[in-house]
Amino acid sequence: MDLNAYTQDLHTNSDKLIHLLASIDENKLIEKQGEQWSILDIAEHIYLSDKTFIRVISQTVEKHHDSEELKGSHKIQRLLVDMRERKAAAPKFLEPKGTFSSVIDFESAFKQQRDSLLEKLQNGSISDFTAIIAHPFLGDLTITDWLYVILHHTSRHIEQIKDRLKEFN
């Protein structure tokens, strides 16, 4: 895996989310429509998911693939972003709990968590990119594929937030 390219992609991905959230009126951030999550709830879901993904890819794994990718970035993007009309209910532990009261609270925790991921990649504590860990909806993924999931899961929800903003207008 090209760690420099991934680092740049992760920064770009993080910045897109943070800039989008910062551009939204505070009332719209917390507004709920029916049973739908608020935009700040969606941000918290991204944070909780990243936390889980990082924990998953930090574990020691016995099963390996002969290459770093089983699915690859493009297929994961297609499944998570391009085909986002396909939905699955988030597990309870990934549902928002109202942890963040503002974008500033979210941004601080989110950046810290993403920096922690980059530190683990740079210091080698996440380095076994051919290790295979099953995803509940996508099936077997290598660590490299899981890293792409982090990017594309966020992109999926960035697009969801943009769609939500169109609904407000």
pTM: predicted TM-score of the whole model, two decimal places? 0.94
Q: Tens of pLDDT along 6-63?
A: 999 999 999 999 999 999 999 999 998 888 899 999 999 999 999 999 999 999 899 9
Domains of the chain (ranges; CATH) run: 3-59+67-129+143-168 (1.20.120)
Token pair of 42 as six digits: 């969606």
Spatial separation of the C-alpha atoms in residues 77 and 152, rounded to whole Å: 6
Longest dimension (CA), the chain: 50
The 3-state DSSP class for residue 152 equals helix
Interstrand relation of 139-142 and 132-135 (parallel, antiparallel or unpaired) = antiparallel
Q: Tens of pLDDT along 97-118?
A: 999 999 999 999 999 999 999 9
